[in-house]
Amino acid sequence: MRTVFWAALATFLLDQISKYAVVHGLNLIERQEIAVAPPLLTLRMAWNTGINFGLFSDGSGSRWLLIFVALAVSAGVLIWVRRERPRRAGLIAAGLLVGGALGNVVDRVIYGAVADFLNMSCCGIDNPYAFNVADIAIFIGAVALVLTPAEKGA
């Protein structure tokens, strides 16, 4: 469980520090967009009240539902880790997922929405969506948990 805790803490801190630095330090709220390495990487401010790609962003009721779902999924992952005792890769994956989920929960509680700011486009395709460090961690953690062998660790 220590591995899960440290991976979750590192993910959570990286997410929250990056959001604070970009939103407040670079004043992305006012500037709205900063070209970092055009067209590949742009910092583009977006307040996401839903989930990926703006799904379920229909009102304030979804805010508390999404907070509950994120906390329930995090608790479920922690219960699974405690029961199944996966190998190190599974523990790190669980920490990424939990840390990312909690990072987005904090945003929803404080701001009422998740601060998304990373936008990547390539090869003539303009991606209209933004994401954040927590989203990356949740995605990698979930995929890694699915791909992690079911063998139990010591």
Q: In 10 A of CB 64, how many CB atoms? A: 11
Question: Is 107 a catalytic site residue?
Answer: no
Name 17's Cβ contacts closer than 8 Å, sequence gap at least 6: none
Q: Which of 15, 107, 116, 126 is catalytic?
A: 116
- 115: alpha, beta or left? (left if phi > 0; alpha if psi -120 to 50): beta
CA atoms within 13 A on the CB side of 51: 13
Q: Which of 15, 58, 126, 135 is catalytic?
A: 135
What letter does residue 22 receive in the DSSP assignment? I
Question: Is 116 a catalytic site residue?
Answer: yes
- 59: alpha, beta or left? (left if phi > 0; alpha if psi -120 to 50): left
Q: Catalytic amino acids?
A: 116, 135
